């Protein structure tokens, strides 16, 4: 069980878009960002709603131009999830977004040159009780255009730490920014300190979590496409979350942002930081014993479960009866494949033995029926485990056992 760091709590949202709390005793939330242009209103609405349907607790949109903030007034009434406006360089965009009714502002005070302008944004947020995320991302905290200034900034702080300069700059800049907010007595704040380097992400958030009690928005910037970005993101985020650090997360991919939500939620589910919505799928990796197309079956089962199952039913898709029963322990529903067949168990009871082409339909039928039983109160999730050895695997699943027996010298289980 993960013990989370104690932080302040912020709240955002409204009746029409729902409320989300970040920090304190609130569950860790998942957010994402639209990839399209905000000014393309219909497309933006569709993308926000797709992310909301995938389970995003809040969705961020970029507002680089006035036409983007103007679009917000039309977008907001059409969406059902709180919206965060992502502001860089132009404080007016923040004021326009606040006026349009957004629920949170993401600001990097470092790229808004005039402190008075930052104060204007703070006061506007204060008046409307809108929180602000302060980002000190690695990519945007150090001066890039002015080489002299950049060198001065990089040389202005020193540390022996592996990530010395950047870590020191991130914390120093954050202190600097927070002073502005404290001066305005504004504490409706979430902090982020992202980097592309997973180890710097860990060090930066640890350092910040030790210094400030504001909730933290975790993320790795520019993590790349999902294929490689998953590991780059999940490695540091898991480390931090397991240490109790992190109150809201965004996984960033150069891929469809729906994956950011799906993977973010899955990370929180497997760490026990969120209550799972929908089925949990277990599947074996397959090996030389496999006698059905398990990879395809698993993908088909995954897609259908996501569409049809609301409850956190544990479903196991196992390639054979050798290790399957042990490996899927705790599953409510399991299928063990054999020689082009599959035996289906529901909470320890064998309910079907079907040819490969019928496995998907038969398994989903059992899942739907089990879900209905649980909802009626006639069954409980996780009540009986699938701790089964098929009574007659050779007869029911075909020659898989013969093959295994011959190759590995295995003995058939004792039939009782």
Minimal distance in Å, beta carbon 302 to ligand SF4? 16
Residue 386 binds ligand SF4, judged by CB under 6 A = no
- Please say which residue, 246 or 324, places its beta carbon nearer to ligand SF4: 324
- Determine the 3-state secondary structure of 181 from DSSP: helix
Task: Name the residue whose CB lies closest to ligand SF4.
Answer: 319
- Least distance to ligand SF4, CB of residue 323, Å: 4
x/- contact string, 307-326, with ligand SF4 (CB under 6 A)?
A: -----------xxx-xxx--
Distance CA 210, CA 223 (A): 25
- Give the total of residues touching ligand SF4 (CB under 6 A): 13
Sign of the torsion formed by the C-alpha atoms of 230, 232, 238 and 241 = negative
Closest CA to 317 of 339, 355, 308, 293: 293
Residue of 17, 60, 133, 289 interacting with ligand SF4 (CB under 6 A): 289
> How many Å apart are CA 296 and CA 286, to the nearest integer?
12
> 278 CB contacts (<8 Å, ≥6 apart)?
305, 306, 309, 310, 311, 312
Distance in Å, CB of 286 to ligand SF4, minimum: 5
Spatial separation of the C-alpha atoms in residues 335 and 393, rounded to whole Å: 13
Nearer Cβ to ligand SF4 (154/282): 282
Nearest-approach distance from CB 62 to ligand SF4, in angstroms: 44
Rounded to 5°, the CA angle 69-74-77 comes to 120
Give residue for tokens 């040159």: 113
CB of 290 to ligand SF4, least distance (A): 5
Long-range contacts of range 44-50, CB-CB < 8 Å, 24 or more positions apart? 44/71, 44/75, 45/75, 45/78, 45/79, 47/257, 48/75, 48/79, 48/81, 48/83, 49/79, 49/80, 49/81, 50/258
Give the DSSP letter of residue 276: -
- Give the residue with the Cβ less far from ligand SF4, 53 or 410: 410
Q: Could you tell me the smallest distance in angstroms from the CB atom of residue 316 to ligand SF4? A: 9
Min CB(364)–ligand SF4 separation in Å: 21
- Cα separation of 368 and 308, whole Å? 7
User: Taking CB under 6 A as the rule, does residue 132 contact ligand SF4?
Assistant: no
Determine, following the binding rule CB under 6 A, whether residue 342 of this chain makes contact with ligand SF4.
no
From 164, 272, 285, 382, residue interacting with ligand SF4 (rule: CB under 6 A)? 285
Identified binder of ligand SF4 from the candidate list 117, 119, 286, 358, rule CB under 6 A: 286
Smallest gap from residue 329 Cβ to ligand SF4 (A): 12
Binding site for ligand SF4 (CB under 6 A): 284-287, 289-290, 318-320, 322-324, 327
């Amino acid at each position: 069980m993960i013990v989370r760091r104690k932080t302040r709590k912020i709240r955002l949202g409204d009746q029409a878009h729902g409320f989300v709390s970040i920090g304190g005793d609130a569950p860790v939330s998942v957010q994402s960002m639209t990839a399209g242009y905000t000014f393309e209103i219909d497309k933006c609405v569709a993308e926000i709603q797709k992310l909301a349907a995938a389970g995003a607790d809040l969705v961020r949109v970029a507002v680089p131009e006035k036409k983007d903030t103007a679009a917000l007034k039309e977008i907001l009434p059409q969406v059902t999830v709180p919206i965060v406006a992502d502001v860089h360089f132009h404080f007016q965009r923040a004021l326009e977004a606040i006026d349009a009714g957004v629920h949170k502002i993401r600001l990097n005070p470092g790229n808004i040159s005039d402190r008075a302008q930052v104060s204007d944004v703070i006061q506007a947020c204060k008046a409307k009780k809108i929180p602000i995320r302060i980002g000190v991302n690695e990519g945007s905290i150090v001066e890039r255009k002015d080489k002299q200034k950049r060198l001065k900034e990089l040389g202005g702080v020193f540390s022996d730490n592996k990530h010395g300069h950047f870590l020191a700059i991130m914390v120093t800049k954050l202190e600097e920014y927070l002073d502005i907010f404290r001066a305005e007595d504004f504490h409706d704040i979430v902090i982020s300190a992202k980097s592309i380097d997973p180890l710097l992400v860990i060090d930066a958030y640890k350092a910040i979590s030790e210094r400030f009690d504001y909730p933290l928005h975790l993320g790795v910037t520019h993590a790349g496409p999902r294929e490689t970005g998953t590991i780059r993101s999940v490695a540091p985020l898991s480390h931090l979350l397991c240490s109790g650090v992190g109150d809201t997360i965004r996984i960033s991919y150069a891929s469809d942002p729906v994956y950011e939500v799906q993977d973010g939620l899955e990370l929180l589910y497997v760490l026990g930081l969120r209550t799972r919505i929908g089925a949990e799928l277990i599947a074996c990796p397959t090996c030389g014993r496999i006698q059905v197309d398990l990879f395809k079956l698993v993908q088909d089962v995954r897609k259908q479960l996501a569409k049809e199952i609301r409850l956190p039913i544990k479903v196991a898709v196992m390639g054979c009866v050798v290790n399957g029963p042990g490996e899927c322990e705790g599953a409510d529903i399991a299928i063990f494949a054999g020689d082009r067949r599959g035996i289906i168990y529901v909470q320890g009871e064998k309910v079907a033995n079907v040819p490969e082409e019928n496995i998907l339909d038969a398994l989903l039928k059992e899942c739907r029926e089990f879900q209905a039983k649980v909802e009626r109160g006639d069954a409980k999730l996780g009540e009986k485990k699938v701790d089964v050895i098929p009574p007659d695997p050779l007869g029911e699943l075909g020659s898989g056992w013969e093959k295994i027996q011959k190759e590995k010298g295995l003995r058939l289980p004792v039939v009782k």
